[in-house]
Amino acid sequence: MTSYAYTANSATPAASANIATDKIRIATSNVGIQFTTSFPNVALTGTVTALATSATVTGSGTSFTTELNIGAWVGNASGTTAGIVKSIANNVSLTLAANSAVAIAGAGGTYNPHGVAFTIANANSELIPPNTTRNSIIVGQGNVVSYLSVAGANTLFTITELGAPHLNTGTSGVPATPAAGGPSS
Average pLDDT, the chain: 82
Q: Which domain holds residue 130?
A: 3-39+117-162
pLDDT over 50 (residue 142):
yes
Same domain, 106 and 82: yes
Q: Has residue 184 been placed in a domain?
A: no
Tell me if 174 sits within 8 A of 68, measured CB to CB: no
Amino acid at site 40? P
The per-residue pLDDT for 170 is: 46
> Structural domain tally of the chain?
2
Straight-line distance from the first to the last Cα atom of the chain, in angstroms, rounded to the nearest whole number: 18
Residue 65, classed as helix, strand or coil, is helix
| Alpha-carbon dihedral sign for residues 125, 128, 130, 136 | negative
Q: Has residue 171 been placed in a domain?
A: no
Q: What pTM was computed for the model?
A: 0.62
CATH number, domain of 142, equals 2.60.120.10
Same domain, 132 and 146: yes
pLDDT over 60 (residue 176):
no
Same domain, 54 and 71: yes
The per-residue pLDDT for 120 is: 67
CATH number, domain of 62, equals 2.40.30
Q: Has residue 180 been placed in a domain?
A: no
Mean pLDDT computed over 65-90: 90
Q: How many angstroms from the chain centroid is the CA of residue 53? A: 26
Mean pLDDT computed over 64-92: 90
Mean pLDDT computed over 30-36: 89
Max distance between CA atoms of the chain, in angstroms, equals: 51
